[in-house]
Structure 1
Amino acid sequence: MVPHLITALTGPINELEQRILDSMPAIERWFRLEWMEHTPPFYCSVDIRNAGFKLAPVDTNLFPGGWNNLTRDMLPLAVQAAMAAIEKICPEARNLLVIPENHTRNTFYLANVVQLQRIFHMAGLNVRIGSISPEVKVPTTISLPTGESITLEPVVGTKRRLGLKDFDPCTILLNNDLSAGAPGILEDLHEQYLLPPLHAGWSVRRKSNHFRSYEEVSKRFGKLLGIDPWLIHPLFSHCGEVDFTVGAGMDALAAQVDGLLTKVRRKYKEYGIHEKPFVVVKADNGTYGMGIMTVRDAKELQDLNRRTRNKMGVVKDGQAVHDVIVQEGVLTYERMHDAVAEPVVYMMDRYVVGGFYRIHAERGTDENLNAPGASFVPLAFEHSTHLPQPGVKPGASAPNRFYMYGVIARLAMLAASYELEATDPDAEVYE
């Protein structure tokens, strides 16, 4: 089921879809060669926006929640990908410890952890959930609205190892984005595999680094396909030394916003696009849809009210915002049930395993949808196959559209692998 697109189905996005479908063998070979050189993140999800004239990732999450939003039909793909990922890292793995976020009472989030537990159990592992939250002092079972339950157990640290009482894992899977920093208990685990690595957490990671890597990937991919990389890449800039709470650094931010809007206007003129450009200002290390605002004119920054300043000044776990990424806003002209929608694609190892639409009835086409009130609609297909269908006209086939989403998502995943290599504290540096 492709969502209703209010842009004309003869628009440029279908030219891009056709180019991608026609180039499928070359694209798959290109990815294959890239993965020979680079290690994909263990898992990730990518938010994609389809403006009708461009299709681009706007966020890449290396500790994805929301696995519970994948349909049962998608589970076999996830299980196979989990098998491949574990086999590569620790073929003899028997026990897997999953470390979730600390907000232990969010039942929607915990349903996601249960789904991860199910996927890795079906991949042939004993899976238990170990909490690093100071609140979890004894094994705690929580009932979920789905009728399932989850047991959180306090982690136990011994010399160079982490586990639970009577449970010694060879692999630890983080589903905690470490916004407040990496706790010492996770450091110096030289005899266990920690996935993703600590430097993938938001205490180290920056969105501007990711999109710098994505810009490089999109240029190379654009050359492969013979397209303008802008069609798959949101322009961006970085602005540091901002303090929203006291209004410091706002002139520098306004200059960055103005400069980026000028570049986007130039592109819109080049392509005959009559929309009003906008940018999205985000905390450079933000997550959970926090620390985000839409700006259509740099002058708007002079008149921010106290509520907006406070909202922008602090993100998850009370982390203060001093660096922001200014990103070209990508409209989303997708609709599900009369609500604005954006696809979110899920991957494990180098494989696309599924996705869903994030929809928000109270948000506009130029606003962030990752906000209270959002809901999720699984990507459903009329046919059982997830494979693209060559020969079907662009815009008419759900698998074709999803293949295109998957290509863009994998480009973002490849950018994440570049980014993690560049920020790896253990990487050898060659002069």
Structure 2
Amino acid sequence: MVPHLITALTGPINELEQRIIDSMPAIERWFRLEWMEHTPPFYCSVDIRNAGFKLAPVDTNLFPGGWNNLTDEMLPLAVQAAMAAIEKICPEARNLLIIPENQQKNPSYLSNILQLQRIFRMAGLNVRIGSVSPDIKKLTEIKLPHGDTITLEPALRTKRRLGLKNFDPCTILLNNDLSAGAPGILEELYEQFLLPPLHAGWSVRRKSRHFQSYEEVSKRFGKLLGIDPWLINPVFSKCENIDFVEGTGLDQLAVQVDATITKVRRKYKEYGIKEKPFVVVKADNGTYGMGVMTVRDAKELEALKDKRTRNKMGVIKDGQPVHDVLVQEGVLTYERMNNAVAEPVVYMMDRYVVGGFYRMHPERGIDENLNAPGSGFVPLAFPPQSTQLPQIGARAGASAPNRFYMYGVIARLAMLAASYELEATNPDAEIYD
């Protein structure tokens, strides 16, 4: 489905789109050279915001759920990408074990796991689902709303390997973001490939580290295209040692918010942008859209004096406390689906774009977080003829495939930043003087 955009594919972003389309050969060569030096995350999804004057990623998920929200048209691309990824990592792979989140009561999430199982089965692997939840003590079949059935089995650990009863995988795929830390059953698996690695989990990973890597990538890409990297990169800062529950550290947060808004205001003035700048304060290790608030003025942080608001910001998934936050330039979204504010989410496996969808929320504004209860999803197919083959020579803004290609470029930049990030935080990396 090709979405109808309120922006009507017009506006200043067309200049960026035109530069990207005209530079496609140089861009693709640049990515090829980067992937010769760096290993892409096994899979990821990237949330993108299109403000008309700026197009930037605002979040990168290394344990993407939501595969069930993509269209069937994306399956061939996903299967080919899965084949390529597995061939690089373990060419002789026969068995793959998927470790999901402990969400047996969330049918949408389980449909996502079932879709991943289909993809890797079509890639030629025996695929089973092993739960590390203490609630799964035996083979458990769960009926899903659309008539499908998913089978969960308790994961079994031997001294050196992880598997299931009568099932010994060479590769283990995590779809569990480890917010509460890596359970012992997943540690020290030296004989099997664990994808993504444990240090990609939110118990280790930080958004500020990712966007530091993305800033580096955007500067290099901006130099390649001859553009201001700010057009594709949100300004950010980090604020540490906050206790939302006790209400301490909020004065320092106000200073960071004010400084970041001031930086953005200068860029708006430089480009003649009349919008009011804002920031999004989000948990540095946050996920699932929790621990997020929009701030248009540092004075709005007065709301954090309210205990309910502090508690909402102070605890995220799995009851993890928030002490460090990312203060990120807010990027407006002028895209609409079915009269609701929307943002594209691009899915990748290995180094390939395989699909995406529009996340939309009828009750949220253009400057608010859309990853919240009440959001909906409109599948967006990325068939080869549109995503990988943009219409070179077409006038900027006249081609939805060109716009989708541009989304794919921005998403791949975020994926490259994630590879930089994982290399820098790899506890097993050798250090040379």
TM-score, structure 1 normalization: 0.98
Aligned to 1:150: 150
Kindly state the Cα deviation for residue 384 of structure 1 after the two structures are TM-superposed.
Answer: 6.0
Q: Deviations over 1:353-402 (max 9, x none)?
A: 00000000000000000000000001147996442111222222121111
Letter aligned with residue 346 of structure 1: Y
Residue in structure 1 matched with residue 44 of structure 2 by the alignment = 44
Aligned partner of 2:361: which letter?
Answer: H
- Correspondence for 2:416 among 410, 414, 417: 414
What CA distance in whole angstroms lies between the structure 2 residues aligned with 1:162 and 1:381? 35
1:382–1:39 CA distance, 2 compared to 1 (3 A): closer
- Any gaps of 5 or more consecutive residues in structure 2? none
**The residue matched to 2:135 in structure 1 has which SS?**
coil
Structure 1 unaligned residues grouped into runs of 5+: none
Match of 2:300 in 1: 300
Structure 1 equivalent of residue 225 of structure 2: 225
**Which residues of 2 match residues 153-192 of structure 1 at below 5 A?**
153-192=153-192
- Partners of 1:3 and 1:334 within 8 A in 2: no
The CA RMSD over aligned residues, in Å, is 1.2
Offset at residue 9 of structure 1 (A): 4.4
Equivalent positions of 1:332-347 (< 5 A) are 332-347=333-348
For 1:236 and 1:370, the matched residues in 2 are separated by: 20
Instruction: Give the CA deviation at 1:212.
Output: 0.1
Report the secondary structure of 1:357's partner residue: strand
How far apart are the structure 1 equivalents of 2:229 and 2:139? 51
| Equivalence for 2:22 | 22
Amino acid at match of 1:233: N
Partner of 1:317: 318
Relative to structure 1, the CA distance from residue 383 to residue 165 in structure 2 (aligned partners, 3 Å threshold; closer, same or farther) is closer
Q: Is 1:403 matched up with 2:367?
A: no
Which range moves more in the overlay, 306-315 or 356-365?
306-315
1:75: which partner in 2? 75
Relative to structure 1, the CA distance from residue 191 to residue 412 in structure 2 (aligned partners, 3 Å threshold; closer, same or farther) is same
1:18-417 alignment runs, 5 A limit:
18-304=18-304, 305-380=306-381, 385-386=386-387, 387-417=389-419
Conservation of the 8 A alpha-carbon contact between 1:17 and 1:394: yes
For 2:21 and 2:59, locate their aligned partners in 1 and report how far apart those are by CA, in whole Å: 24
- Is residue 2–residue 401 contact of structure 1 (8 Å, CA) maintained in 2? no
Alignment partners' CA distance in 1, 2:385 and 2:75: 13
Contact preservation (8 Å) 2:74, 2:383: no
Instruction: Work out the CA distance in 2 between the residues paired with 1:180 and 1:382.
Output: 37
From the superposition, tell whether residues 334 and 10 of structure 1 become closer, same or farther in structure 2 (CA, over 3 Å).
closer
Distance 1:6 1:69 in 2: 22
Tell me how many residue pairs correspond in the alignment. 431
**For 1:199 and 1:368, how far apart are their aligned partners in 2?**
26
Distance 2:432 2:418 in 1: 21
Q: Is the 8 A contact 2:391 2:401 kept in 1?
A: yes
1:202 is displaced (CA, Å) by 0.2
Q: Is contact 2:355–2:381 with CA below 8 Å preserved after alignment?
A: no
Note the C-alpha offset of 1:8: 6.8
Amino acid at match of 2:213: S
CA shift for structure 1 position 248: 0.4
Maintained 8 Å contact 2:46/2:57 = yes
Residue 6 of structure 1: how far off its partner (Å) = 3.4
Deviations 1:130-185 (A, max 9, x none): 00000000110001112111000000000110000000000000000000000011
The letter of the residue matching 2:99 is: I
Matched to 1:360, the amino acid is H
Q: Distance in 1 between matches of 2:314 and 2:33?
A: 42
SS in 2 for 1:352: strand
Give the distance between the partners of 2:254 and 2:345, measured in 1 at CA.
Answer: 30
| Residue type of the alignment partner of 2:420 | Y
Q: Secondary structure at the match of 1:112?
A: helix
The 2-side partners of 1:92 and 1:413 are apart by: 26
Distance 1:383 1:27 in 2: 17
Q: Counterpart of 1:372 in structure 2: which amino acid?
A: P
For 1:280-306, what per-residue CA distance to the aligned partner results, in whole angstroms no more than 9, with x for missing partners? 000000000000000000011123222
Secondary structure of residue in 2 paired with 1:202:
coil
Aligned amino acid, residue 134 of structure 2: P
Structure-1 separation of matches of 2:156 and 2:69: 31
Whichever residue aligns with residue 403 of structure 1, its letter is Y
After the TM superposition, which parts of structure 1 deviate over 3 Å for at least 4 consecutive aligned residues? 1-10, 380-386
3-state DSSP class of the match of 1:393?
coil
> How much has 1:50 moved relative to structure 2?
0.2
Conserved 8 A contact 1:250-1:302: no
1:425 aligns with 2:427: yes
Using the size of structure 2 for normalisation, the TM-score is: 0.98
- TM-aligned CA deviation for residue 65 of structure 1: 0.1
Q: Which amino acid aligns with 1:375?
A: G
Q: Is the 8 A contact 2:74 2:381 kept in 1?
A: no
